[in-house]
Structure 1
Amino acid sequence: MIVITNPSAIANEISLIDSLFEEGLSLLHIRKPVFSEIEMVEFIKQIKLEYRSNLVLHNHHQLAEDSGINRIHFSEKDRKNSFLVNPDQKIFSTSTHSIEDFNSLENFDYAFLSPVFSSISKEDYHPKENLFEALKSRTNNKTKVIALGGINSENIKKTLENGFDNVALLGTIWNHKNPIKQFKLCHKIVLSHSL
């Protein structure tokens, strides 16, 4: 299961991140669009070294190598304006918002497809189409498709049963009064589905 950091700072964020990993988090996408390069370095340094291989950088990609991170995420805009350097040495992910964009991907290990449901963290961010129906026309089987947008404990099972390979959580974790408890509940549902 994937968790994306809240774009802005959260109280006790590093402690919560370490706890998420201790509870079985697979990947943490670090999405801090307003962080300077220095702030990003400081943020990464605070996360336990043993979890570096589970971190994914959304920006300041140049910091990856020196930070021991081999996972890079490209926004839709960045993907269209970038050339993937050394695709064999890194694990690449990206964001898509239509099945057509997802189907056209090359050299990406996985991609977010969103929004599946109305967003928990972004106001007025709703699905433009039924992505469960759209997934029926999936032709790209090299790239894993990850559901994003409005994913919570009540709809994870439905999401995985309708063709998504995995889910990414943001609002359901960081907007919850007990992020760890919420993560454990969601993680349990994902694990039970994969059995």
Structure 2
Amino acid sequence: MTPIIISSPVFVANETDIINHLFDEGLELFHLRKPDYTEEGYRSLIQQINSKYRDRLVLHQFHELAQAYGINRLHFPETKRMETTKWETCSPFILSTSIHSIEAFNQLSEQFSYAFLSPVFPSISKEGYRSDLDLMKEVYKRTNFHTRLVAVGGIMQENIQPVMENGFDAIALLGAIWKSGHPIKNYSECRTNYNTYLRETHP
């Protein structure tokens, strides 16, 4: 799994051009998360993404749009996963979710391909958002190995190696991409660091 990118929660100028460029650069998964967007806003954004890349999109909202646009991945935020069992009947979609503790991660159903654990570090995109736990240490309590564990929150070029060394399976980028002013360049640098770690540890 290469580094995942999560969309900015708010409008970004030329956003779909950037997304298409990121896919051209080899991005495998892009999480579309726009909490304040309407369904029509979601439709408009999806329609501007090259159709050959739509199977790399992961929907956080408006799951009902997936089939119409050839999207086969759905994300269930933690609150949505806990308040409904709808995810249990989502086959053959590939599912992911969000969690904020290793205890919650260890209890996840095998239906979830991977889960975001956050915030591993103080968030770049949400000022003041941090965990009361040291999630880098909490990873050692992991007993769930059927779901991949993805680090989110404050992930940037400089801390990718220690994150992976501590037992995470992959990383997801948000603030490092959208707060930088150089999303393509920053993604490329983060991916290079990530791939360098993998080459050194899995020759």
Structure 2 partner of 1:22: 24
Q: Residues 120-179 of structure 1: CA distance to partner in whole angstroms, max 9, x if unpaired?
A: 000110121111211111011100000000000010111111100000000000011211
Structure 2 partner of 1:102: 105
Separation of aligned partners in 1, 2:107 and 2:98? 12
Q: Within 5 Å, give how 1:51-66 maps onto structure 2.
A: 51-66=53-68
Q: TM-score w.r.t. structure 2 length?
A: 0.94
Shift of 1:86: 3.7
- Tell me the SS of whatever aligns to 2:66: helix
Structure 2 partner of 1:158: 162
Separation of aligned partners in 2, 1:56 and 1:169? 14
How many residue pairs get aligned? The number is 195
Q: Within 5 Å, give how 1:12-161 maps onto structure 2.
A: 12-83=14-85, 84-106=87-109, 107-161=111-165
Runs of 4+ with deviation above 6 angstroms: none
Q: TM-score w.r.t. structure 1 length?
A: 0.97
Structure 2 partner of 1:11: 13
- Tell me the SS of whatever aligns to 1:10: coil
Q: Residues 61-92 of structure 1: CA distance to partner in whole angstroms, max 9, x if unpaired?
A: 11111111010001111001222244430100
Identity of aligned residues (%): 47
Separation of aligned partners in 1, 2:166 and 2:136? 6
Q: Within 5 Å, give how 1:169-184 maps onto structure 2.
A: 169-184=173-188
Q: Compute the RMSD of aligned alpha carbons.
A: 0.9
